[in-house]
Amino acid sequence: MARTDLSVVRKPIEQAQGLPNAHYIDADVFEEEKHAVLFSSWAGLAVAADVPQIGDAKPIEFLGIPLLLVRDRDNAVRVFQNSCRHRGMILVSEPKKIEGAIRCPYHSWCYSTAGKLVSTPHVGGAGLNTHPAINKDELGLTEVRSHIYFDTVFINVDGKADPFDVVHADLMDRWREFDQPLHHGGPESHFDLEVQTNWKLAVENYCESYHLPWVHPGLNSYSRLEDHYHIQAQGKYSGQGTLVYQQLKGPDEAVFPDFQALDAKWNTGAEYIAIYPNVLLGAQRDHCFAIILQPDTQGRTTEHIHLYYAQPKTSEDMRTRNAHLWKTVFEEDIFVVEGMQKGRQSPLFDGGRFSPAMDGPTHNFHDWVAGKVQDHRARQDT
Amino acid sequence: MTDLNDAILAAHARDDGRALVTLYAQAADQSRDVDTACFFLTCAYIYALELGVPDAAALYARLDAHGRV
């Protein structure tokens, strides 16, 4: 595979161009980025609310890898490879409640929800359930490194990234006020959008405010472009903030309850940050959201959107209205990310030029992706 | 064993794990030798383990008594 030239991407924003077309439309580059960008960092997989009860198990395929999300008996959320240590059979094929053990449907090897191999029936012959060559302590489920932040389950597939709370120490500090219970709004607070675009374009669109007046004109009456500011941490995350957040009002001017003990800046402030590579978070005084971008192919992405509140019991009607409002906003972005994807079929498109004033958060992301790919290539060359 | 065999097959057909625990334990009780009994005990134990029912501990103990776990 011919390697793309990323040197121009990494130049200062005034001279830089965006990632080459191949990073959006080429299957081989998608495969390269899978290892270089998505497996080597802390990627979003799911939300802990996907397995709300002890014993809940949900199979999830992540870039071709069959994974199993489980809430174990100690209430810890874990991620395993969803294959038996015996013959590699898929263990769980549908979301289910694990009442006791995870039993492989093939030869019935059984695992605890913490991944320990607990029984190997007939492994030594009929009615003989042990064999000297089979050490159960060495054959637990293969666990994938995971970390939960903002209820989002992040995974590091290659196991080599620095710990999540080291990589994202500054973000966790920036939003430490939100380090309090987030209550998922329930079924009406979760929706998925399937979009015909490369996952990176969804990140790029999310983290900049430049497009707001044109794509979301409904914001212009109360949340103008000049009310927004850039957020960017090189090599980690970027996004935007607003100074004029307005709460959703219900009957009799009712609002959602606030998170506790927030600084006054959050009275009218809100921040929207893309944690690289594929998680988009929103923080507001009365609700938050997490969007997991699931890269399906180089040209298709599924967005999993979850809304959270400060209290477990809020108005169902208002939650439904709020989800509808956000869905409308996110759907307004679809033609943009799909249009940029189509635009990258133009063979002479050169990655595009950035506005030094407005595209800093986007260039920050391009620079990070390019750096990860370059690091990956350097490791391959050695 | 024919009736019991039919009952076991029927329980498998309706994916009734709780019944399989009971029926395989009965099959073990009716077995004439230790090896056959342990085969059925193993089946009962595995379904009990999967379901997380209390029977699992007693079934494990029976297998353990024969050095099978």
Q: Which CATH number characterizes residue A80's domain?
A: 2.102.10.10
Find the CATH number of the domain harbouring A364.
3.90.380.10
Asked if residue A155 is part of any domain, the answer here is no
Range of the domain at A56: 45-148
Q: In terms of domains, do A291 and A260 share one? A: yes
Among A76-90, A227-241, A286-300, name the one with the lowest average pLDDT.
Answer: A227-241
Position A163 in a domain: no
Query: Quick one: A242 and A335 in the same domain?
Result: yes
A170 assigned to some structural domain: no
Instruction: State the count of interchain CB pairs (< 8 A) between A and B.
Output: 51
Chain B residues lying within 8 Å of A121, measured CB to CB: 42-43, 45-46
pLDDT given at position A211 = 87
Which residues between 83 and 142 in chain A have a beta carbon less than 8 angstroms from any beta carbon of chain B? 99-101, 103, 108, 110, 118-119, 121-122, 126-130
Going residue by residue through chain B, which has 69 residues, state the pLDDT in tens, using 9 for 90 and above.
689 999 999 999 999 999 999 999 999 999 999 999 999 999 999 999 999 999 999 999 999 999 999
What is the percent of chain A where pLDDT is above 70?
A: 99
Query: Which of A148, A170, A202 is the last residue before a domain boundary?
Result: A148
Q: What is the pLDDT of residues A79-131, one digit of tens each?
A: 999 999 999 999 999 999 999 999 999 999 999 999 999 999 999 999 999 99
Chain A residues closer than 8 Å to B53 by CB: 100
ipTM surpassing 0.85: yes
A122: which chain B residues are within 8 Å (Cβ-Cβ)? Answer: 39, 42
b/e map A106-118, b = 16+ CB within 10 Å: eebbbbbbbbebb
Q: B49, A128: Cβ pair inside 8 Å?
A: no
**Is B41 close to A127, i.e. CB distance below 8 A?**
yes
How much is the pLDDT for A218? Answer: 78
What is residue A210's predicted lDDT score, i.e. its pLDDT?
86
Q: Does some domain include residue A242? A: yes
Q: What is the mean pLDDT of residues A251-268?
A: 95
Q: Do B49 and A129 touch (CB under 8 A)?
A: no
- The verdict on A37 and A52 lying in the same domain is no
- Residue A377 CA to residue A309 CA, distance in Å, equals 42
Counted domains in chain A: 2
The pLDDT, as a whole number, for residue A24 is 98
Q: Does B51 contact A100 at a Cβ distance shorter than 8 Å?
A: yes
Taking the domains of chain B in order of start, what are their residue ranges?
Answer: 2-65
- Looking at the fold, whether A358 and A284 belong to one and the same domain comes out as yes
User: In percent, how much of chain A has pLDDT > 90?
Assistant: 93
pLDDT of residue B1: 60
For residues A129 and A209, state if they share a domain: no
Per-residue pLDDT of A207-228, as tens digits, reads: 988 888 888 887 776 677 788 9
Query: pLDDT tens, A156-170?
Result: 999 999 999 999 999
Of B43, B46, B52, the CB nearest to A99: B52
Check residue B20 and give its pLDDT. 98
